[in-house]
Amino acid sequence: MLLKRLRDVPKRGPRAVIVYCCVASISAALVAQAAAVPSVQGTDLQSRDEVDGLTRLSPYLDVTWIERGIFSAELPNPAGRTFGTDWNFGIGKKLVITPSYYYFSFRTTSGAAGHVHSPILAATPIFSRGRWTASDRNRFGGRFGTSGIGPSWAYRNRPRIDYRIGPSRWKTALFAWDEVFYFSKYSGFTRNRVAAGGRKEFTERLAADLYYQREDDERGTPARINTVGLQFEVRIRREANPSEANMTGEPGIKNNIQ
């Protein structure tokens, strides 16, 4: 269409030449700018590597110290780091109450760094039958930024299913969860995470989770994140806990996966 109009330029005079040249230049610039938008605006591939230290202070209290690193194919690395602690109080055999504190550091698409402090309170009912364990973690957390991020709060709900495979001596399980996020600053549920993976207890003091997670975010960037997560757990002290239904329902192990 533009070439056809340029052929008609001699009929319209030199002013038309200037106008069409300007239009062509602006169009080319817009196309180039659109092509230059980084792919991080759409989809990113990340890894979450975590090491947890767990200790049992009493038959009804597990404490976890957490260190996690996030590495990205698109964002400046490390894309995020997390330090925190969970205090898991077993209320009978069916409920775990978990006050937590987390410190997050992260990088934006421009490379700028941000920091967030987050106190959290969670309630997780747990139900077990045979090889199956079902849990429903409910987290209420504040967010206080140190890089111009205003205070806000978030609610997260994560139903989860664990299934123990093989003889009990294998101490191996498969799991899956689906988590939704409500953010006060957006006044809605704007994020969803779905994950599936496996868990193996190598000894009484060492276990590992390997999982795949898909995140879809309506307001954040990247909007879609595919993650491979690896979490190692080192238990410093272990005692028999009356609130444990089986190895997949152990409260001190399952509450801290983000």
Same domain, 28 and 139: no
Same domain, 203 and 234: yes
Quote the pLDDT of residue 108.
Answer: 78
Q: How far apart are CA 233 and CA 52, in angstroms?
A: 5
What residues contact residue 85 under an 8 Å CB cut-off, 6+ apart? Answer: 63, 64, 65, 66, 100, 101
Same domain, 22 and 97: no
Quote the pLDDT of residue 114.
Answer: 86
Quote the pLDDT of residue 148.
Answer: 61
Q: How far apart are CA 5 and CA 11, in angstroms?
A: 10
Same domain, 92 and 17: no
Quote the pLDDT of residue 27.
Answer: 41
State the total domains in the chain: 2
Q: Which CATH number goes with the domain that contains 235?
A: 2.40.160.40
Sign, CA dihedral 216-222-226-227, equals negative
CA angle 107, 227, 177 (to 5 degrees): 120
Which ranges of the chain would DSSP assign to H, the alpha helix?
2-7, 9-12, 14-35, 251-254
Same domain, 89 and 157: yes
* Identity of the residue numbered 89: F
Same domain, 201 and 97: yes
Same domain, 67 and 181: yes
pTM across the whole model: 0.76
Q: How far apart are CA 9 and CA 190, in angstroms?
A: 52
Same domain, 51 and 73: yes
Mean pLDDT by runs of 10 across the 258 residues of the chain is 46 46 42 40 91 94 97 92 97 96 88 89 97 98 78 96 95 98 95 98 96 94 94 83 40 48
Same domain, 19 and 50: no
Q: Phi and psi at residue 255, in whole multiples of 5°? A: -80, -20
Joined together, the tokens standing for residue 1 give 């269409």
Same domain, 14 and 140: no
Same domain, 80 and 129: yes
Quote the pLDDT of residue 253.
Answer: 41
Domain interval for residue 22: 2-35
Same domain, 224 and 193: yes
